[in-house]
Amino acid sequence: MDSNPPEEASPAKSVIEELDILRIEFRSALQAYASRIEEEIGLIQQSTAKQTTKTKIAPAKLRDLRDMLTLLRKFSIKSEKGRRKDLKKIDTLVGDLTMLIEHW
């Protein structure tokens, strides 16, 4: 009698294959997330740069720019730890900055 069951009977190989798929999907999702955040930061930079070309900036926009500067200077994460909460902080900050420039 064979003491080792056939590989098809063991789910271990299937789990390993599924984990490979999960790793690929994770990397893809991470890449898409990073691309989205990078694009949003770029749009914020472009909108802010447009303000520097104006000779007179509206008081409301000056207030927004000061608020943005405060948010950016207070922002702090420990990126070397690679924590989800740090990504959430970045996402929140970018969202807050985007809200400030939406009405420009």
Residues 60-94 pLDDT 10s:
999 999 999 999 999 999 999 999 999 999 999 99
Is the pLDDT confidence value at 6 over 70? no
Q: Give me 6's structure tokens.
A: 């056939």
Is the pLDDT confidence value at 28 over 90? yes
The single residue listed with the structure tokens 């069951």 is 5
What is the structure's pLDDT at 97? 98
3-class DSSP assignment, residue 23: helix
Say what the pTM is. Answer: 0.82
What's the CA gap between 2 and 9, in Å, rounded? 13
What is the structure's pLDDT at 88? 97
Let me know: does 59 contact 33? Beta carbons within 8 Å: no
Contacts 24+ apart (CB under 8 A), 82-86: none
Percent of all residues in the chain with a pLDDT value above 90, rounded to a whole number = 86
Round the average pLDDT of the chain to a whole number and report it: 93
* Least confident among 19-23, 25-29, 56-60: 56-60
What's the pLDDT band for 4 if we cut at 50, 70, 90? low
Amino acid at 10: S
Number of neighbours of residue 43 by Cβ within 10 angstroms: 14
What is the structure's pLDDT at 79? 93
* Proportion of the chain in helix, strand, coil states, percent, rounded to 5: 80, 0, 20
